[in-house]
Amino acid sequence: MARGRPSKKQLILDTAQRLFSERGYQGTTIDLVVQSAGVSKPTVYSHFPSKQALWQAMLEQAIAASEELRATLDIEAAGWCELIPGGFAQLAAQPQMLAIYRIMLGEQHKMEPESQALFSAFEEGFERWCDRVLQAQAVSLTAEQRFILRALCREGVLQPALRLQCVPAIDDLSNLIRRALGKLG
């Protein structure tokens, strides 16, 4: 298909993504997607049989987008202690990614197992990237140290972003990580 206008399916996905970001999962309805996208209800249902299916398609797109984003980061350009929190910061700077965290952390108990599995895959992709960064820079961390690293990145970057607060400077966070892990990284 030639570039230009997005397909109706993509238009529906883009509209749903915006609505999920603005209103959350519970606040987004198929009727609202229909109205906002300017398409008919049968058109939406021909591509997505339910709101859950629409949400899952958005998660699949987010997984692909986050993989593309991580692929642009040079895992040897900066120290791992700056690069990993910086990767979290880039993730937190994407409204779609933040919306996914906001929805899944707040409404995960209402989601079908398929959505929960997709969110796990979304998170595991980032964990694999962190492992590649550490491996590329010949850094060996214990499982406990990896847990602390991820926890500090989540608390230092994702949580403030989710609360619409200022994310601390990466240098400050990387210094905290070094002190917490007892490494010079």
The pTM score is: 0.77
In a domain, 43, yes or no: no
In tens, the pLDDT along 45-96 reads 999 999 999 999 999 998 898 888 788 777 777 788 888 898 888 888 888 8
Instruction: Match 């970001």 to its residue by tokens.
Output: 21
Determine the residue type at 176: L
In a domain, 162, yes or no: yes
In a domain, 64, yes or no: yes
Residue 102's domain spans which residues?
Answer: 52-181
In tens, the pLDDT along 130-182 reads 898 898 888 899 888 989 998 999 888 888 888 888 888 888 888 889 888 88
Count of helices and strands (H, E) across the chain: 10, 0
In a domain, 89, yes or no: yes
pLDDT for 4 beyond 70: no
In a domain, 24, yes or no: no
In a domain, 60, yes or no: yes
Token output for 82: 């700056």
Neighbours of 158 (CB within 10 A): 20
In a domain, 6, yes or no: no
In a domain, 109, yes or no: yes
The number of distinct structural domains making up the chain is 1
In tens, the pLDDT along 34-59 reads 999 999 999 999 999 999 999 999 99
